[in-house]
Amino acid sequence: MIKRLTAAALASLTLASTAPALAGGPVVVELFTSQGCSSCPPADAILGELADREDVIALSLHVDYWDYLGWVDEFADPAHTARQRGYARAAKSTMIYTPQMVIGGTDQIVGTKAMQLAKFIDQHKNAPDVVSLKLSRDGSGALQISAQRTGDVPSDMLVQVVRYMRERVVSIRSGENAGKDVTYHNVVESMVSVGGWNGDADLNMQADAPGDHPAVVLIQDGSSGPILAAARVD
């Protein structure tokens, strides 16, 4: 039953990717995952279904708290664990776990619940935008970031730059996933706060993003609140 449901849910996510994107910005889906978590590969596959959608920015953030189980995740970063803890505090929870997905910085679900995920993505796509964000990258790798308020916004927004690797296949030799080759999509390499913004005036700034990996800019209510706008450059 679980396999049939997951297949149907994956199909719905894939079919949704063929629909035209709405005028608003893309919905950010963050997956907190680990190579040492036996429950995570199905969620990693679900994130892979989202990776090429224009209306979604899918990000894989590998945490480090399962590394003691016998396999050290090469993509794990304590900063990802700290970000997940921040989301837990925002939800008034003391528990963190994998796989977990956070949609739009607010809705938190078990990462294998594809039907719930599809529902939340649709809800965020249909929500009114409060920030208009434009992003480009010049020949030197510098990001040109411009934004303006289009609705009510908090006064302590953070501007964050995320760099990620599109796809990596890992042969896991020990731990809970020993013997598996797992494909990871949109693996976050770095997430850096490059400034704050209160929305009173239009935002115009630059940020470094050298190299040829894709970059994402997030405008978020603090570090663990709603994501108010997002944009991506390849």
pLDDT digits 0-9 by tens, 97-145: 999 999 999 999 999 999 999 999 999 999 999 999 999 998 888 999 9
Distance CA 86, CA 165 (A): 24
Q: Specify the pLDDT at position 29.
A: 99
Q: What is the DSSP letter of 207?
A: E
Tokens of 113: 């619940």
Q: What is the DSSP string of 82-109?
A: HHHHHHHHHTT-----SSEEEETTTEEE
pTM recorded for the entire structure: 0.90
Amino acid letter for position 127? A
Burial classification of residue 80, based on how many CB atoms lie within 10 Å of its CB (0-12 exposed, 13-18 middle, 19 or more buried):
buried
Q: Specify the pLDDT at position 211.
A: 77
Q: Specify the pLDDT at position 47.
A: 98
DSSP reduced 3-state for 20:
coil
Amino acid letter for position 175? G
C-alpha to C-alpha distances, 45 to 5, 58, 142, 158, 159, nearest whole angstrom: 14, 12, 32, 30, 29
Amino acid letter for position 111? G
Q: Specify the pLDDT at position 101.
A: 99
Q: Specify the pLDDT at position 140.
A: 82
Which residue spans within the chain are E strands per DSSP? 27-33, 56-62, 100-103, 107-110, 131-137, 142-149, 157-171, 181-197, 203-208, 215-221, 227-233
pLDDT in tens, the chain (234 residues): 233 344 445 554 554 433 333 447 999 999 999 999 999 999 999 999 999 999 999 999 999 999 999 999 999 999 999 999 999 999 999 999 999 999 999 999 999 999 999 999 999 999 999 999 999 998 888 999 999 999 999 999 999 999 999 999 999 999 999 999 999 999 999 999 999 999 999 999 999 987 789 999 999 999 999 999 999 998
Nearest to 215 by CA among 103, 104, 135, 125: 135
Distance CA 174, CA 107 (A): 33
Q: What is the DSSP letter of 202?
A: -
Q: Specify the pLDDT at position 9.
A: 53
> Which residues are bridge partners to 58 per DSSP?
29
23's enclosing H/E stretch is none
Tokens of 225: 């609140």
Q: Specify the pLDDT at position 13.
A: 58
Q: Specify the pLDDT at position 2.
A: 37
